[in-house]
Amino acid sequence: MKVLGIETSTGSGSVAVLEGDKVLGEFFLNLGPTHSEKLLPMLDWLLKEVGVEKNEIEGIAVSKGPGSFTALRVGISTAKGLAFTLGIPVVGVSSLEVLARNLLFTPLYIYSLIDAKKKEVYAALFRYSDTNLNRITDDILISPDDICEMISERTIFIGNGALLYRDFLINSLGELALFCPSDINFPKASSCALIGSYMFKNGNKDDLSALAPQYLRKSEAEIYRDG
């Protein structure tokens, strides 16, 4: 099954095509605020390079957040539009789970952290059992201080939130805090596609009309509107 992965939950963005467990190709850019301008050209270039036509794609996996409000909307709108046009299933995947899947295997706990601004992070805890990545907690909005109060074993921190609060975590947790190489601290479309492939195999898919970004916090516009 050929699965397209779309990842736009942070300032970086990527697209990938997976067939089975094999990554046919992946295109990653540090997009900043230009996801809407770059995403479709990235996709077109990638499909051309790997020799896959759009009508050969059998499913789409897209990061649904938490993360950047605007970037998530762009990624999900693109995924839903393609799924509707091609008549194929789509699944939304937690961007925190996508981050954890960047680590192919470790016996240690994995804490995925995405910067949420306002001295908070979006966070979720995972751990592998054999090759299965198991979720320990739901996706939550939390302060780094509160995270440190929960840690009692050696834990690998991953994500731009881990990069941002690295010194704080080391000072608070000492040898319990471990960190990843910098190049895997961003959610990858290939990891998103791999999770989506497993979901499709288990018969999971999202309703196009119901698939929406998972924010965990109101946007600034919503806060202003609601007073």
Q: In terms of domains, do 193 and 180 share one?
A: no
| Whole-angstrom distance, CA of residue 30 vs CA of residue 11 | 6
Residues 216 and 144 occupy one common structural domain: no
- Asked if 65 and 128 sit in the same domain, the reply is no
Residues 179, 202 contacting (CB under 8 angstroms): no
223 pLDDT above the threshold of 70: no
The average confidence (pLDDT) of the chain is 92
Name the pairing type of β-strands 2-7 and 13-19. antiparallel
Whether residues 89 and 8 fall in one domain: yes
What is the extent of the structural domain holding 140? 103-184
Given this model, what pLDDT does residue 34 score? 58
Has residue 195 got a pLDDT over 80? yes
Residue 123 CA to residue 101 CA, distance in Å, equals 14
68 and 12 belong to one structural domain: yes
What CATH number is given to the structural domain containing 159? 3.30.420.40
Confidence (pLDDT) at 12: 85
Residues 173-192 have a mean pLDDT of 96
Domain end call among 153, 169, 184: 184
Rounded alpha-carbon distances, angstroms, from residue 34 to 12, 31, 68, 71, 79: 10, 6, 12, 9, 17
Distance of CA 85 to the CA centre of its chain: 24
Q: What total number of domains does the chain contain?
A: 2
User: What digits encode the pLDDT tens for the residues 36-87?
Assistant: 778 999 999 999 999 999 999 999 999 999 998 888 999 999 999 999 999 9
28-43 pLDDT, tens digit per residue, is 987 665 567 789 999 9
The answer, yes or no, to whether residue 172 has pLDDT greater than 80, is yes
Residue 73 and residue 116 in one domain: no
Q: Given pLDDT bands bounded at 50, 70 and 90, which one contains residue 171?
A: very high
Q: Environment class of residue 75 by beta-carbon count within 10 Å: exposed (0-12), middle (13-18) or buried (19+)?
A: buried
pLDDT surpassing 70 at residue 206: yes
Of 94-98, 119-123, 211-215, 218-222, the one with minimum mean pLDDT is: 218-222
β-sheet with 2-7: strand ranges across? 22-29, 13-19, 2-7, 59-65, 90-94
